[in-house]
Chains A and B, each alone.
Chain A
Amino acid sequence: MADFGSILLWVIFPYAMMLSFIFGTIVRFVWFRAGITAVSSEMLEKRKLMIGSLVFHVGIILAFFGHVLGILIPKSWTEFFGISNEMYHLFGSLMMGTGAGLLALAGMMILTYRRFTNARVFVTSSWTDLVVDVALLITIILGLASTLSGPLFPKFDYRETLSVWARQLFYLSPNWHLMSGVPVIYKLHVICGFLIFGFFPYTRLVHALTLPWQYIFRRYIVYRRKPKAD
């Protein structure tokens, strides 16, 4: 029975969420492109947005790269470059991770407060906007708590368990036993994170997939012409 629970949580659930992410993204970009927007409420409130949005976005982008580093890059690679385990955990994970997490948390708290207390912003929010806000806030708190709890579990090294499992998800052979020794707080963070992945494309979060990189390289004025008929 315990096995079934583990399989459900660490195999079925992550894949379901990843499939939902892929499916939703395709549907959104192919059939509902016109609905993809950053859903700005700057028009309605500016001051709190300035601090909240800037701080949150900087924090969450740093946190994103931190996750890439911690999960996708195997321990052997960082060791190959002469980064010892202690150095990695102290500087990379604890210091930089906490910094990014605190930025994201501070930003998200301001943004959530703004969304729920500013009447103009609140009435123009859809229910998914509210769900996204709360979900992000909870996930960030759990993530930050996991990072800070690192020293409490000296024997636990997520790069030997959690990260390996996460990489195995991509090879389609996840070993769910690896998750059994992971502290609860990490587990909750992982579940919340996958949940956000699952509803990502159906909500305002989808704007993160439309980063306008091409702007930096394109010329200023864009001309378009109807294609000539043959």
Chain B
Amino acid sequence: MEDEEHYRGGWELNSKGKLQLKAGNKLNKVGLGKIFYNPNMPELDDYYEPWTYDYQTLFGPEKKHQPVARAKSQITGQTMTLTTGPNWDDDLAGSPEYVKQDPNMDKIETDIKTNFEQAFMMYLPRLCEHCLNAPCVASCPSGAMYKRDEDGIVLVDQERCRGWRMCMTGCPYKKVYFNWKTNKAEKCTFCYPRIEEGEPTVCAETCVGRIRYIGVMLYDADRVESAAETPDQSKLYEAQLDLFLDPNDPKIIEQALADGISEEMIECAQRSPIYRMAVKEKIAFPLHPEYRTMPMVWYIPPLSPIMNYFEGRDSINNPDMIFPGIDEMRVPVDYLASLLTGGNVPAIKSALYKLAMMRLYMRAKTSGRDFETAKLARVGLTENTATSLYRLLAIAKYEDRFVIPKSHKEKVEDAQSEQGTLGYDECKGCSLAPQHGSMFKKAEAGESTNQIYAESFYGGIWRD
């Protein structure tokens, strides 16, 4: 599913060096009948057909043979044969097969492949990136998709969506979905009613590992297009960095205030954990910048396979070991660069050096060992910045991770009439739970709670 040469999501440069949707330009969409049939759209079977099991036969009358719960399609209700799908890779089961299909592997040298398989497992949550140069928005013929001027959240206007499905294929991260009950596109809303109130998204708030951070970034919207037209793929990461504005620069502050950006927003931008990690320390990277989308969910490359490699080899006493150590681990570095920087390996390396050095420094500090602090300078850290970066990444306090200004909707709309509402219109059919949850159905049919409990809880398991 990740092969965008096949599914044609994102942008490319045309022969004149101008930005163009990979799926084809505007005229070609309407003129060549792509609106009647989208050739790039994945089919249900490219994901998998959802199914449930026929549990009732397990609890029927006594039979001669052991009853079996057969798989039933949740779409047609027919018995179906289960086949493998893209969501089926559980860690090492079948990895050599999946690794072969990974388009990111084509970009790195072949002799590394098997090594990689032995070396590490990596999990990469792919979210809607709320791109600066969002191809889903650009693909939408109806103009139903838009980027909010206030906070950059990309949304689908359900009133205007006509189900042409260009956004689904236009997004190279494949993060716009088709609801086959409402026949409209749906996507991550970045929990905008929460963001408007200065609260983090639910995925970030509930993250057990506390690895999700949300903060304000000021950027120059007028330069987005030219930045996305940077010819060299490996320069796109730097081109995007260049778009971000320094919220401490008095000139920027003056201009921001003149453009109607609130002081609260500017103050949050100054304390933004994202600005710190992405621009100041350069330890976070955009996902697949080569799609020219200017994505806004950035990832810190994982250190664990590298640390495992040289930890226990006296690295605290000899921190210089991390440099050859990281260089030797060409596998993850190459691979990470193909994921996160469009092939810019030095950028990934310097981030890993920095993270590893910070870790060694803090280990020496907390275990009371000596550490030659001059070594920190080699990766662009000082004792202060190393300690505060450690606080931000490892202690990860709630108020450090989430620095979100309120949107002050009360200034633009009648807040009283919004009281007690969801912040968005309720949509019948948007949630499939009422259709599939047997408890909802039973409750609607008038069964009492006790009855539902007796029917659903048996054999020590709650069966919905």
In the complex, what's the smallest C-beta–C-beta distance from A50 to chain B, in angstroms?
5
Partner of A54, one of B36, B75, B147: B36
A117 within 8 A of B: no
> In the complex, A124 Cα to B39 Cα: how many Å?
22
> Is the CB–CB distance between B29 and A224 below 8 Å?
no
> In the complex, A215 Cα to B76 Cα: how many Å?
36
In the complex, chain A residues whose CB is within 8 Å of the CB of B224? 221
In the complex, chain B residues whose CB is within 8 Å of the CB of A57? 33, 36
| Interface size class of chain A, counting residues whose CB lies under 8 Å from the partner chain | 35 or more
Stretch from A30-38, A77-85, A144-152, A167-175 that touches the partner: A30-38
In the complex, chain B residues whose CB is within 8 Å of the CB of A134? none
> Is the CB–CB distance between B412 and A216 below 8 Å?
no
B325 within 8 A of A: no
Partner of B33, one of A54, A120, A224: A54
Given contacts A42-B41, A54-B37, A123-B75, contact A220 B147 (CB under 8 A): no
In the complex, chain B residues whose CB is within 8 Å of the CB of A50? 37, 39
Partner of A214, one of B37, B77, B133, B143: B143
> Is the CB–CB distance between B163 and A39 below 8 Å?
yes
> In the complex, A214 Cα to B143 Cα: how many Å?
8
Residue of A nearest to B34 (CB): A54
In the complex, chain A residues whose CB is within 8 Å of the CB of B178? 40, 43
A5 within 8 A of B: no
Residue of A nearest to B157 (CB): A224
Q: Mark A191-230, 1 if CB is under 8 A from B, else 0.
A: 0000000000000000100101011101011111111110
Tell me which of A124, A216, A222 has the highest count of chain B C-beta atoms within 10 A of its own C-beta.
A222
A45 within 8 A of B: yes
Residue of B nearest to A207 (CB): B162
> Is the CB–CB distance between A223 and B37 below 8 Å?
no
B445 within 8 A of A: no
Q: Mark B34-66, 1 if CB is under 8 A from A, else 0.
A: 011111010110000000000000000000000
Tell me which of B30, B141, B412 has the highest count of chain A C-beta atoms within 10 A of its own C-beta.
B141
Stretch from B99-107, B180-188, B304-312, B394-402 that touches the partner: B180-188
Contact residues, B103-151 vs A (CB, 8 A): 133-134, 137-138, 140-143, 145-150
Contact residues, A22-60 vs B (CB, 8 A): 33-34, 36-46, 49-50, 53-54, 57-58
Given contacts A42-B38, A43-B44, A212-B142, contact A224 B149 (CB under 8 A): yes
B159 within 8 A of A: yes
In the complex, chain B residues whose CB is within 8 Å of the CB of A226? 150, 409, 412-413
Interface of A, secondary structure class, is loop
A119 within 8 A of B: yes
In the complex, chain B residues whose CB is within 8 Å of the CB of A218? 143
Residue of B nearest to A41 (CB): B180
Given contacts A124-B180, A225-B150, A227-B412, contact A220 B138 (CB under 8 A): yes
> Is the CB–CB distance between A119 and B78 below 8 Å?
yes
Residue of A nearest to B165 (CB): A40
In the complex, what's the smallest C-beta–C-beta distance from B229 to chain A, in angstroms?
12
> In the complex, A186 Cα to B121 Cα: how many Å?
69
> In the complex, A36 Cα to B144 Cα: how many Å?
12
> Is the CB–CB distance between A44 and B75 below 8 Å?
yes
In the complex, what's the smallest C-beta–C-beta distance from A218 to chain B, in angstroms?
6
In the complex, chain A residues whose CB is within 8 Å of the CB of B182? 37
In the complex, what's the smallest C-beta–C-beta distance from B232 to chain A, in angstroms?
22
B27 within 8 A of A: yes
> Is the CB–CB distance between B146 and A36 below 8 Å?
no
Residue of A nearest to B27 (CB): A216
> In the complex, A222 Cα to B156 Cα: how many Å?
11
In the complex, what's the smallest C-beta–C-beta distance from A198 to chain B, in angstroms?
22
> Is the CB–CB distance between A124 and B75 below 8 Å?
yes
> In the complex, A46 Cα to B77 Cα: how many Å?
20
B411 within 8 A of A: yes
Residue of B nearest to A37 (CB): B163
Residue of A nearest to B135 (CB): A220
B158 within 8 A of A: yes
> Is the CB–CB distance between B44 and A221 below 8 Å?
no
Residue of B nearest to A40 (CB): B163
Partner of B162, one of A38, A41, A225: A38
Partner of B138, one of A33, A49, A221, A225: A221
> Is the CB–CB distance between A37 and B159 below 8 Å?
no
In the complex, what's the smallest C-beta–C-beta distance from A143 to chain B, in angstroms?
20
> In the complex, A119 Cα to B49 Cα: how many Å?
13
> In the complex, A229 Cα to B414 Cα: how many Å?
9
> Is the CB–CB distance between A42 and B165 below 8 Å?
yes
Partner of A215, one of B29, B43, B411: B29
Residue of A nearest to B260 (CB): A228
> Is the CB–CB distance between A44 and B163 below 8 Å?
no
> Is the CB–CB distance between B30 and A215 below 8 Å?
yes
Given contacts A221-B134, A225-B148, A227-B412, contact A43 B75 (CB under 8 A): no
In the complex, chain A residues whose CB is within 8 Å of the CB of B133? 221
In the complex, chain A residues whose CB is within 8 Å of the CB of B35? 212
In the complex, what's the smallest C-beta–C-beta distance from A38 to chain B, in angstroms?
4
Contact residues, B181-209 vs A (CB, 8 A): 182-184
Task: Give 7 A-B pairs besides A34-B427, A44-B43, A215-B29 with Cβ atoms closer than 8 angstroms.
Answer: A43-B44, A43-B178, A46-B43, A119-B76, A224-B149, A225-B148, A229-B413
11 A–B pairs (Cβ distance < 8 Å), ordered by A: A34-B427, A43-B41, A46-B43, A54-B37, A57-B33, A120-B75, A215-B141, A216-B30, A220-B138, A223-B148, A225-B149
| Chain A interface (Cβ < 8 Å from any Cβ of B) | 33-34, 36-46, 49-50, 53-54, 57-58, 119-120, 123-124, 207, 210, 212, 214-216, 218, 220-229
Task: List 5 A-B pairs, minimum CB-CB distance, nearest first.
Answer: A212-B141, A225-B149, A220-B138, A37-B163, A215-B141
| Chain B interface (Cβ < 8 Å from any Cβ of A) | 19, 21, 26-27, 29-30, 33, 35-39, 41, 43-44, 75-78, 133-134, 137-138, 140-143, 145-150, 158-165, 178, 180, 182-184, 221, 224, 409, 411-413, 425, 427
